[in-house]
Amino acid sequence: MSSEQPNNPLHGIKLEQIITRLKEHYDWKGLAEKIDISCFKKNPSVKSSLKFLRTTPWAREKIENLYLYTFTNKKIWNQKKRNYKPRQN
């Protein structure tokens, strides 16, 4: 069995890398505005975010979708409260 996952754009990217890159791009305040979860609002850190996201599948999915929307050509960001337009390449 092969460990390759050609259809998974997140294959090989660790959750810590995703959080760190999003934090550098949006900062904590920007992340809290994009995704309304406490670990981005109250004393945010990569460590506390990892702990929360590893145990909360719905929040992890939102972070992964935001990462794909921000850094790839995947246009899957769909927060119900917000109407984001796809990036212009």
What is the per-residue pLDDT for 47? 95
What is the per-residue pLDDT for 76? 58
- Going from N- to C-terminal start, the domains of the chain cover 15-71
Lowest mean pLDDT among 10-19, 54-63, 76-85: 76-85
Q: Residue 17 corresponds to which amino acid?
A: Q
For the chain, count helices (H), then strands (E).
3, 0
Rounded distance, CA 47 to CA 53, Å?
A: 10
The stretch 62-83 carries a mean pLDDT of 72
**Length of the chain in residues, anyone?**
89
Rounded distance, CA 19 to CA 23, Å?
A: 6
Rounded distance, CA 54 to CA 7, Å?
A: 22
pTM: 0.75
75: confidence class by pLDDT, cuts 50, 70, 90: low
Strands (E), 4-65: none
The stretch 1-6 carries a mean pLDDT of 61
In terms of pLDDT, which residue wins out, 52 or 82? 52
CATH assignment of 15-71, given 2.40.50.100, 1.10.720.30, 3.30.1490.190, 3.30.9.10? 1.10.720.30
In terms of pLDDT, which residue wins out, 9 or 59? 59
